[in-house]
């Protein structure tokens, strides 16, 4: 949802910037200082938008945690990329991976959960079926599962 709002906001800001440039072009000569100011303002607005969107995506790339989460072992059923990526320049540095797992806690209870994690491109291929790793789960909502950062 955050991504959709960022995209819609970016489209609106760019439309407003283009509107301002067109309006300035109707009233001022192309060599006038006001027209040049409008062009520079538009470029600055677009750069700020890109920096803001990049900041949101980098925040998503950080590992999640659950306060008071309980430890368990997750075993991968399947994993696949969601299509979302964090780019640095034109190179993808992180991909969002959807990992379907079987969770087993210390009491022997087992259930399925789905994890959505932004992972560095070098770790995407690690999460193959039957691979196990440590996780934390929310005892009030067992579908909320994240990597156990203390174990890594």
pTM, two decimals, is: 0.57
pLDDT, position 77: 96
Of 52-56, 74-78, 118-122, where does mean pLDDT reach its minimum? 52-56
| Helical spans, DSSP H, in the chain | 2-27, 33-61
- Whether the pLDDT of residue 23 is over 90: the answer is no
Which residue is listed with tokens 């000569």? Answer: 29
Mean pLDDT of 123-131: 89
d(CA 4, CA 16): 18
Computed over every residue of the chain, the mean pLDDT equals: 80
pLDDT bin (cut points 50, 70, 90) of residue 2 is low
């Amino acid at each position: 949802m955050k991504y959709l709002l960022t995209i819609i906001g970016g489209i609106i800001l760019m439309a407003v910037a283009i509107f301002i440039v067109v309006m300035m072009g109707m009233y001022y000569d192309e060599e006038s200082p006001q027209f040049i100011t409008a062009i520079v303002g538009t470029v600055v607005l677009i750069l700020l938008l890109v920096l803001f969107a990049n900041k949101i995506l980098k925040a998503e790339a950080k590992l999640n945690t659950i306060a008071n989460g309980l430890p368990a072992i997750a075993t991968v059923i399947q994993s696949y990329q969601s299509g979302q990526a964090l780019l640095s320049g034109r190179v993808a540095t992180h991909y969002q991976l959807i990992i379907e797992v079987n969770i087993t806690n210390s009491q022997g209870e087992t259930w399925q959960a789905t994890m959505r994690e932004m992972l560095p491109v070098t770790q995407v291929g690690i999460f193959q079926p039957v691979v196990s790793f440590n996780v934390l789960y929310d005892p009030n909502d067992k579908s909320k599962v994240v990597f156990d950062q203390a174990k890594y």
